[in-house]
Amino acid sequence: MRSLGNTEGVMVTSMTGKKARVNPAPAEVKFRLLVAEWAKKIGATPARVRFQLMAKKWASCSNSGQITFSTALFAKPRKFQEAVIVHELVHLLVPNHGKLFKSMFLSFIPGGDSFLNDKKQKAA
Ligand SMILES: [Zn+2]
């Protein structure tokens, strides 16, 4: 497993190819790096990743491939964050919660289904 990298600042490349050093909150940087790791593993890259406080969900995925994560995830253990991340990334490949979705999700996060569904909030 590679390092999560420098959390003091991160080089980003915009859609137009412009590079800039930005300094978002360290928790968000760490989370984005985790999303990038899993996106590579799964072979599904979100069009955009955003964060906002969400009352009833941990995350959601739009038809355009944008994933929104609840900022409440920053306080959760890494295993839980990964289960939510993988749930949403698999949705980029399989939009529903059918058999294919479940088997793909569980191949990356064994046992993750029951543990996500135990929680009050759900990954949509
Ligand atoms: Zn879902």
Q: Which of these CATH numbers, 3.30.230.70, 3.30.70.20, 3.40.50.2300, 3.30.2010.10, describes 25-123? A: 3.30.2010.10
In contact, 105 and 87? CB cutoff 8 Å: yes
Distance between CA atoms of 74 and 117, rounded to whole angstroms? 19
Predicted confidence (pLDDT) at residue 67 exceeds the cutoff of 60: yes
pLDDT tens track for 17-49? 777 666 778 899 999 999 999 999 999 999 999
| Alpha-carbon distance values, 84 to 11, 21, 56 (Å) | 25, 27, 14
Alpha carbon of 5 to ligand 1 centroid (Å): 29
The type of residue at 13 is: T
Every domain of the chain and the residues it spans: 25-123
Predicted confidence (pLDDT) at residue 121 exceeds the cutoff of 90: no
pLDDT at 4: 41
Alpha carbon of 29 to ligand 1 centroid (Å): 24
Distance between CA atoms of 60 and 50, rounded to whole angstroms? 10
Predicted confidence (pLDDT) at residue 87 exceeds the cutoff of 70: yes
Distance between CA atoms of 15 and 10, rounded to whole angstroms? 16
Alpha carbon of 14 to ligand 1 centroid (Å): 28
- The chain-wide mean pLDDT, for the chain, equals 85
